[in-house]
Amino acid sequence: MALPIEIIEIVLSKLSVKTLLRFKTVCKSWNILISDPMFIRKHHDRQLRSKGSKKSENLFLVKNSQGFSLVKLEKGRRIQTLQQVFGPYLWVTVLCFCEGLILICDLSKENFALWNPSTRTHTVFKPTFYCVNAAFGVCHDPITDDFNVVIAKSYNYSVYSCNNKSWTMLEKEYETNYWASECSPQIVYYDPRDDKFKILHMPENVDYDKSIYLVDLSGFLCLYYEGRDKNTIVIWTKEKGIDIHSWNKLMTIENVEEPLRWFKPKWLLGNKIVIRIKETNHSGRLIVYSPCKKRFQEFKDTKMVFGWLGFVPYMDTLFFPVEKSGRIITGEFGFPIEKSIPERERKRKRKCIE
Amino acid sequence: MAAETGTPTTLTLKSNDDELFSVAESAAILSVTIRNMVEDGCAGGVIPLDNVDGKTLASVITYMNGISAIPADEEKKKSYRDKFLSDKDFETLADMVLAANYLNMSCLMDAVSAKIAQVMEKKSVGWVRRKFGIENDYTPEEEAAVKEEHKWTFEGVETDDDN
């Protein structure tokens, strides 16, 4: 049965990444279609849309001693392990994630990789500077279709363009840490359109004496802090996107027994919230809180699974930085750091920035 | 139209192999193609549907009647669609996706294309070529190279002999 290519495209956009990569072998035109950035974008957007819906599969990667396990949160607070996934390095630290891509580094903290676990591909890079005590971010620039890795330190930040394979070092205008700072909190974000850090307005009525925490919660930016006493936590969410500045109060959690810093919202499961509670550096457990019933319930057998750090939402996507020559990113205070700059001069420039 | 007279209006649809079908207008206008004809006043006589055969049209009409009998409850509609498509083979699904596309019925189009994708999910490259009537235009070397690049995706694929 010969179907027209428009219909084939609709059908293919509903397949999993594994099947799509296999079907590149069917014929040349299918290979071209499946490799097409427009198709990849459509497939990706479909996955993003299904993420918040009931169809969402609640898949996560959990770090273990061999790499990662792909796990599924199931009904009855069970965790099913689906398969083992191997990353680019044996021992990794997960730094951050963005739309299915995960930024990781090896134990030396000198080798970095942006990894897509669903295509099992990655791109590696090395920062040209010291990364201790830095904050990390990954963002997708919708205009150039580039992925930018942002490494922010106290006074400057560096942006790595995956398309151009080059670094840009820029000076911070705000003396804040990336995302949230501990005292007199404010939230800053990186805008890939002009390579600048900007202040994100916080919800009204936030007590400015309290520490705030920021995490990704089912694709939303999530802000939480201590409520009227030590046992309550107030959670706000904001849709991602530079131009959306409105916060929604998600819920107030009561009767919290653990200190706030051990508490990490991870995922929305219908109207409930999945939270990881840290116990020590190497152990923790997973609980689900229902704001209607004001009740905590623990996931079964999570002690074993969550003895390790790293619990990252998994998204089936073909998304990956497309290699192409494009603009070289330079900022107002920045310059591209490339191999062509002599070592001595590079050191001098770095010194004047640091 | 129907609302004014109080009696349901019936349309007559004609397949490309000259079979005639009667269907309530309220169900038929799930198809945007048919709705446009009705709104333009071209639905007085027989509506010819040149791209749909009788067997497929009968099936589409069963769907139109079934889904429009369900009140606005997305869960129930979804389970009706799942049941409706559950026993259809690949060839029938392919005919239906073409019909849904021609008739411009987005809900059927979504459901059938998702069903086809579900059927394809664990199938081999050979199965796809046969079912879609696709000629392999790779040289053996090229095919081996593409396959090698994504070797792991060939694990856990259904064996080829299941038609």
- Top-confidence residue, B37 or A50: B37
The rounded distance, in Å, linking the Cα atoms of B118 and B99 is: 19
Domain that holds residue A181: 48-325
- The reply to whether A16 falls in a domain is no
Give a yes or no: residue A213 inside a domain: yes
Q: For the residues B1-27, what does the mean pLDDT come to?
A: 80
A-chain CB neighbours of B147 within 8 Å are 25
CATH of residue A189: 2.120.10
Contacts of B120 in chain A (CB under 8 A): 11, 15, 19, 23
> Which residue of A19, A26, A34 to mutate against B (max B Cβ within 10 Å)?
A26
CB within 8 Å: A26 and B146: no
Q: Which of A57-66, B93-102, B149-158 has the lowest mean pLDDT?
A: A57-66
Domain assignment present for A10: no
Average pLDDT over residues A24-49: 91
Provide, as residue numbers in chain A, all residues whose Cβ is less than 8 Å from the Cβ of B109.
10
Q: How confident is the model at residue A171 (pLDDT cuts 50, 70, 90)?
A: low
Is A189 or B128 the better-scoring residue by pLDDT? B128
- The 10s digit of each residue's pLDDT in A241-271 is 666 668 888 999 988 888 888 888 888 888 8
Record: contact B129-A25, CB cut-off 8 A: no
Give residue A346's pLDDT.
38
SS3 of B20, please? strand
Checking if the pLDDT of A283 tops 50, the result is: yes
B97 to A14: CB separation less than 8 angstroms, yes or no? no
Distance from CA of A256 to the nearest CA of B (A): 36
Give the per-residue pLDDT at A309: 58
- Chain B positions in Cβ-Cβ contact with residue A29 (cut-off 8 Å): 137
Looking up tokens 């770090």 gives A63
- The domain total for chain A is 1
Residue A172 lies in a domain: yes
Q: Which of A10-24, A222-236, B102-116 has the lowest mean pLDDT?
A: A222-236
Enter the ipTM: 0.90
pLDDT bucket at B161, cuts 50 / 70 / 90: low
The whole-number pLDDT of residue A338 equals 31
Determine the Cα–Cα distance for residues A273 and A295; give it in Å rounded to an integer.
Answer: 11
Cβ <8 Å between A11 and B113? yes
Longest dimension (CA), chain A: 67
Tell me which of A28 and A132 has the higher pLDDT.
A28
Which amino acid, residue A260? L
DSSP state of A294: T
Highest mean pLDDT among A288-292, A329-333, B105-109: B105-109
| B2-120 fold | Potassium Channel Kv1.1; Chain A (3.30.710)
- Those residues of chain B whose CB sits closer than 8 Å to some CB in chain A are 90-91, 94-95, 97-98, 101, 109, 113-114, 116-117, 120-122, 125, 128-129, 131-138, 143, 146-147, 150, 152-154, 157
pLDDT of residue A305: 53
Higher pLDDT pick, A188 / B118? B118
Its sign, for the CA torsion B24, B26, B28, B34, is positive
Instruction: Spell out the long-range contacts of A3-9 with Cβ–Cβ below 8 A and sequence spacing 24 or more.
Output: A3/B94, A3/B97, A3/B98, A3/B132, A5/A29, A5/A33, A6/B101, A7/B97, A7/B98, A7/B101, A7/B113, A8/A33, A8/B132, A9/A33, A9/A39, A9/A42
Strand bridging mode B10-14 / B46-48: parallel
A38 located within any domain: no
Distance between CA atoms of A67 and A65, rounded to whole angstroms? Answer: 6
pLDDT at B126: 94
Pairing of strands A179-180, A187-191: antiparallel
| Tens of pLDDT, residues A93-112 | 888 888 888 998 888 888 88
How do residues A40-80 score in pLDDT, each as one tens digit? 989 998 888 876 555 567 888 888 777 888 888 887 888 88
Domain membership of residue A250 (yes or no) is yes
Instruction: Please give the interface size between A and B, counted as residue pairs whose CB atoms are below 8 Å apart.
Output: 76
Domain assignment of residue A346, yes or no = no
Instruction: Give the model's pLDDT for residue A176.
Output: 41
- C-alpha Rg value of chain A to the nearest Å: 21
| Closest Cα in chain A to B93 | A1
Inside any domain, residue A73? yes
Q: What is the pLDDT of residue A21?
A: 94
